[in-house]
Amino acid sequence: MSSLSYNVSGVLYDSDSESIEYNGLTYDDLLHSNFNDTTFNENYLARYIGKGPNMERILLIIPSVSSKVNLNYDDSLRFIIKILDEHLDRKYSLVICQTCISWTDSNSYFFVNQWYNMLPRYKKKNLVKVYLIHSLMMTKTFLTLSNPFKSSKALDKVEVFDTLSDVLHKLELNKRNMLRNFPYIVQRAEEINLGIQRPISPFGTDLWILSARLGIRYKEFHHIPSILCYVLQYLESKEYVTTQNLLHLQMDSTRLYEVVTKVEELGENYEFLSVEEVVLVFRLILGTQRCGLFGEAHTQFASLIVNKSTFEEAQEELKRQVKSLKSELFECILCIIKTLRVIVRNSNRNGMNLKIISKTMAPFFFRPLKPDVYIYKLLQLYEGLLSSMIEKPGLYFDKDPQTKLVKQEHTNTESTKESTKETRESTRETRDGKLKETKSRETSRESKSRDVSRESKRETTRESKSREVSRETTREKGSRLIEDKSPRNDSINLSDTHSN
Percentage, residues of the chain above pLDDT 90:
35
Whether 121 and 86 map to the same domain: the answer is yes
The yes-or-no verdict on residue 392 having pLDDT over 70 is yes
Question: Is the same domain home to 273 and 362?
Answer: yes
271 domain residue, yes or no: yes
Q: Who contacts 48 (Cβ-Cβ below 8 Å, separation ≥6)? A: 57, 58, 59, 60, 84, 87
Give the integer Cα–Cα distance in Å for 184 and 181. 10
419, part of any domain: no
Q: Domain ends where: 401, 428, 452?
A: 401
Do residues 184 and 214 both lie within one domain? no
The yes-or-no verdict on residue 337 having pLDDT over 90 is yes
179 and 232 in one domain? no
Query: For residue 186, which phi and psi values (nearest 5 degrees)?
Result: -70, -45
pLDDT confidence of residue 205: 92
CATH number at residue 89: 3.40.525.10
Question: Looking at residues 387-413, what average pLDDT do you find?
Answer: 65
* Residue 207 or residue 109, greater confidence: 207
Residue 496 has pLDDT above 70, yes or no: no
Please tell me whether residues 93 and 172 are part of one structural domain.
yes
More confident residue, 429 or 462: 462
402-428 pLDDT, tens digit per residue, is 444 344 444 444 444 444 445 455 555
pLDDT value at 490 more than 70: no
Q: What is the pTM of this model?
A: 0.71
Which residues form the domain of 135? Answer: 27-194
Q: How far apart are CA 98 and CA 159, in angstroms?
A: 13
Average pLDDT over residues 109-132: 86
pLDDT at 31: 92
**CATH code of the domain containing 333:** 1.10.555.10
391/368: higher pLDDT:
391
Confidence category of residue 160, pLDDT binned at 50, 70, 90: confident
pLDDT (average), residues 227-253: 92
| Residue 473, in any domain of the structure | no
Verify that 219 and 185 share a domain, yes or no.
no
User: Do 78 and 131 sit in the same domain of this protein?
Assistant: yes
User: How confident is the model over 331-351, as a mean pLDDT?
Assistant: 94
Kindly state whether residues 215 and 187 are assigned to the same domain.
Answer: no
Residue 348 in any domain: the answer is yes
* 53 lies in some domain: yes
Same domain, 249 and 180: no
| 6 lies in some domain | no
- pLDDT tens profile 210-219: 999 999 999 9
- Least confident range of 51-65, 128-142, 324-338: 128-142
| Confidence bin at 18 (pLDDT 50/70/90) | confident
> Which among 139, 171, 194 is the end of a domain?
194
Domain ends where: 401, 433, 448?
401
Looking at the structure of the chain, the number of domains it has is 2
The confidence score (pLDDT) of residue 461 equals 63
Q: Give the tens place of pLDDT for each residue, 422-443.
A: 545 555 555 556 556 666 666 6
Tell me, yes or no, whether 153 and 65 share the same domain. yes
pLDDT of 399 over the 80 cut: no
Per the domain annotation, does 450 fall within a domain? no
pLDDT in tens, 267-297: 888 889 999 999 999 999 999 998 889 988 8
Residue 251: inside a domain: yes
Pairs from 123-127 (Cβ < 8 Å, separation ≥ 24)? 123/88, 123/89, 124/5, 124/15, 124/16, 124/17, 124/19, 125/3, 125/15, 125/16, 126/88, 126/89, 126/90, 126/91, 126/92, 127/5, 127/15, 127/92, 127/93, 127/94, 127/157
Predicted confidence band of residue 477 (pLDDT cuts 50, 70, 90):
very low
Residues 243 and 222 in one domain: yes
Whether residue 493 has pLDDT greater than 60: no
- In this structure, the answer to whether residues 264 and 365 fall within a common structural domain is yes
Rounded CA gap, 308 and 322, in Å? Answer: 22
pLDDT band of residue 102 (cuts 50, 70, 90) is low
Nearest of 105, 58, 63 to residue 80 by alpha carbon: 63
- pLDDT tens digits for range 59-88: 999 887 777 777 888 899 999 999 999 999
Average pLDDT score over the chain: 78
pLDDT at 499: 40
Residue 451 has pLDDT above 90, yes or no: no
Residue 29: burial class (beta carbons within 10 Å; 0-12, 13-18, 19+): middle
- Is the pLDDT confidence value at 257 over 90? yes
